[in-house]
Amino acid sequence: MVLTKDIVYSNQGNPSIVKLLDEHDLKILDIGCGAGDTGQLIRSVYPSVHITGITSSIMESKLAKQKLDCCACLDIERDEIPAFLKQEFDVLIFSHVLEHLVEPVAAIQKLLPYLKIGGKVIIALPNISNWRVRWKLALGRFEYTEGGIMDKTHLHFYTFYTAPKYLIQPISEIELTHHSVNGSIPLGFLRHHLLHPSLRTKLDEIGCKWLPNLCGSEILMVAYRKG
């Protein structure tokens, strides 16, 4: 996670993260906050929340400071944690950032001392076993992209089953409390032409519940810090 000047990840924020929060989560540290879009989305639902961001992009930090309470520009794998970040947070968010790091478990452990006992670690990751990736592999295609599951900057790849094994289980101080996916089932032509949106949504929910490793495109995990 080397410091960069020009890279900017900007979007509408990750609504999956918002769904994993509640009114007791008042102090949040968003690691890999991008331009601050997820923090801005969280604040639209929980206006009283205090959100601190971390990014390795100088341009992102300038944008994030306009949306968050504060933002640190640093490489979490190499740099020392600055004094103003050494406080007690209710939540640590790692939304689509751990797959970009050389040692993701070490990064979690480095920031864990600043999470309160009973606080949440929220992790969102792409699922390499999603049906779309499987279909491309079946056709002999393994191609990196500018974003998404096959983002060319990803250093690690996870499935629904390996994510907790490699990221949660090695850390004795935390315990998994939530494990789910967002995604869709392969409906092809039916998705946009024949099925009502409510039925599509219901079918996707069923697929993600019963076949998470196939249907999920985004893996979601919540772990709490044990006393």
For the beta carbon of residue 98, count every other beta carbon within 10 angstroms. 24
Q: 84 or 20: whose pLDDT is higher?
A: 20
Summarised one tens digit per residue, pLDDT across range 180-227 is 999 999 877 667 777 788 888 899 999 999 999 999 999 999 999 998
For position 2, what pLDDT does the model report?
46
Summarised one tens digit per residue, pLDDT across range 106-160 is 999 999 999 999 999 999 999 999 999 999 999 999 999 888 899 898 999 999 9
| Domains annotated on the chain, with CATH | 15-225 (3.40.50.150)
Summarised one tens digit per residue, pLDDT across range 126-140 is 999 999 999 999 999
Q: How far apart are CA 218 and CA 52, in angstroms?
A: 24
Query: Who's near 127: CB < 8 A, 6+ residues apart?
Result: 149, 158, 159, 160, 181, 183, 213, 216, 217, 218, 219
For the beta carbon of residue 84, count every other beta carbon within 10 angstroms. 9
For position 146, what pLDDT does the model report?
85
Q: How far apart are CA 199 and CA 187, in angstroms?
A: 11
For the beta carbon of residue 225, count every other beta carbon within 10 angstroms. 18
Residues 183, 184, 186, 188, CA torsion sign: negative
